[in-house]
Amino acid sequence: EAGVAQSPRYKIIEKRQSVAFWCNPISGHATLYWYQQILGQGPKLLIQFQNNGVVDDSQLPKDRFSAERLKGVDSTLKIQPAKLEDSAVYLCASSGPRGSNYGYTFGSGTRLTVV
Amino acid sequence: SQQGEEDPQALSIQEGENATMNCSYKTSINNLQWYRQNSGRGLVHLILIRSNEREKHSGRLRVTLDTSKKSSSLLITASRAADTASYFCAGGTSYGKLTFGQGTILTVHP
């Protein structure tokens, strides 16, 4: 089966600019996640969707970050305006039915550099 | 916030040796998962152990879970140079939220 697709692979922007990332999860996976991974750290959950509804966005900086998952499939994550500390890899993941032993499937991520 | 801590932060071994990484977590979990990340790439799921399990094997991997101590360990036997990567543990809730630790960087020298 195809994996989780993310684009772009790399992005360099200036601070105060806006940027958007796109994710296409594995077909049939109802749950989609966006994680932020700062260099040298573990991934931090930004938002979790179940179909097109938000399950957890407690760590999403809502003054500048937004995310949507239209029709319960693809998702976009937007940052506006970007700050230097937003430089990180943004990882999208999806998961299948609860109770499965297969964990999450992650995309390759988008590496964002804010200068 | 991160789920917990991994120990050691970095581990350097020779090919053929065993590698053991430990993980502690803070909150109640439904399952504990281990992931591997090669430099500049996404995470790859290795193994999942449920909160009612104590030990699980998959190929050269052995995972233990002690819920009374809120800790887990990952053992990789007969390490290979290709095992060089960062390894993360993550605590999972019943509704699917996964919280990662800071990771262990494993270097296996040929």
Segment B58-96, tens digit of pLDDT: 999 999 999 999 999 999 999 999 999 999 999 998 888
Is some CB atom of chain B closer than 8 A to the CB atom of A55? Answer: yes
What's the mean pLDDT in B35-57? 93
Is some CB atom of chain B closer than 8 A to the CB atom of A87? Answer: no
Is some CB atom of chain B closer than 8 A to the CB atom of A49? Answer: no
Residues of chain B in contact with residue A30, where contact means CB-CB under 8 angstroms, are none
Report the C-alpha gap between B59 and B55 in whole angstroms.
13
Confidence bin at B35 (pLDDT 50/70/90): very high
Residues of chain A in contact with residue B90, where contact means CB-CB under 8 angstroms, are 42
**Would you give the end-to-end CA distance of chain A in angstroms?**
37
Q: What integer pLDDT is reported at residue B97 of this predicted model? A: 86
**Helix, coil or strand: residue B82:** helix
- Single out the residue of B58, B33, B53 nearest to residue B45, CA to CA: B33
Edge to edge, the sheet with strand B4-7 lists B4-7, B19-25, B71-76, B61-66, B55-58
**Burial, A48: exposed, middle or buried (Cβ in 10 Å; 0-12, 13-18, 19+)?**
buried
Query: Are A64 and A79 spatial neighbours (Cβ–Cβ below 8 Å)?
Result: yes
CA distance B14 to chain A (A): 23
Confidence bin at A70 (pLDDT 50/70/90): confident
Q: Which residues of B6-18 are buried (b: 16+ CB within 10 A; e: fewer)?
A: bbeeebebeeeee
